[in-house]
Amino acid sequence: MTLSKKQLNFFDTFGYLLVRQLFSSKEIEKIIEGFEWSIQNYAGGKNHDGTSRTMFLCPIEHTPEMCAILDHPSILGLIGGILGEDFNYCTGDGNYYSGNTGWHPDGNWGQLFAAKTAFYLDPLTRNTGAVRLIPGSHRPDHFVRQKQIDVNNSLELFGVPPTEFPGSIAVETNPGDIVIFNHDLYHASFGGGTRRRMFTMNCTRRAKTPEDLELAHRYLSSHSAGGYKLKTGAGIFYPTMIDTADEDRMEHLRQPMEIHDQIFPDLARSTVS
Ligand SMILES: O=C(O)CCC(=O)C(=O)O
């Protein structure tokens, strides 16, 4: 898959892109199976009772089939088109969400540094938890950022509930559809059930300058296994991700592995028994 000029322009301007049926129904069925196996066996999925969110890190790193999402030509075309073909894969999170998330960006980088690729595993509409976005809010000159508006407080500020925040949209999806958005984009979900299944792949640009490297260190200090004090046994990634990687996949793993080992030497593979 190669993103068109219009798609790139859309992402640049609005901060997100929706690609319908990036995965076929057969492919997404397998992915849902892999997600369920992972959350049941590596997170508290078995104990999820809907009273709160069940979240686990590195959702695609527990089985060879899930790891191979990172080799899928359409995923490489999508993320590579946005962040550059040599993008860094920096893990992600898997969830049974319960209830609303509230509005938030995931970062405040002031530039396109990181993007979230989101997999929604159930059909979602505006009123059942579809992701809401404020297009353009990734830009430092957007009014929400310029005026430091607390979007979640919009009822008190403007008499408009956060669900109706002017300029926001709901991106309704079916399994197989993929949404990718700039980490700086304000997003939320409202009205979902108590077991809304979604997982993410977080990726960044490859760091090539001292400024980029500083950003990458900052990013990986918090958005990583080490940042969450998680012992994977192999540094930033679970071993399966590395052990099943060919050279093409390693291109997306190597720099985050090296930087993570520098920041969290105690978690590096050779030092963990
Ligand atoms: O569920 C959603 O669509 C939003 C997820 C979210 O808030 C996040 O990944 O930071």
Residues in contact with ligand 1 by the CB-under-6-Å rule are 97, 101, 106, 131, 187, 189, 198, 200
Q: What average pLDDT score do residues 163-188 get? A: 98
Res 271: pLDDT: 67
Res 270: pLDDT: 74
Position in ligand 1 atom list of the atom nearest CA 95? 1
The full DSSP string for 169-190 is: EEE-B-BTBEEEEETTS-EEE-
261: Cα separation from own chain's centroid = 22
Residue 228 has pLDDT above 90, yes or no: yes
Res 137: pLDDT: 98
pLDDT digits (tens, 9 = 90+) for 54-89: 999 999 999 999 999 999 999 999 999 999 999 999
Q: What average pLDDT score do residues 114-133 get? A: 98
Question: Quick one: tokens of 241?
Answer: 């991700």
Residue 272 has pLDDT above 90, yes or no: no
The model carries a pTM of: 0.97
Distance 246 CA to ligand 1 centre (A): 30
Domains for the chain: give ranges and CATH numbers: 5-205 (2.60.120.620)
Distance 210 CA to ligand 1 centre (A): 31
Strand partners, 119: 178, 199
Ligand 1, pocket-test mutation among 131, 168, 183, 223, most atoms within 8 A of CB: 131
Question: Quick one: tokens of 249?
Answer: 């996949």
pLDDT digits (tens, 9 = 90+) for 250-262: 999 999 999 999 9
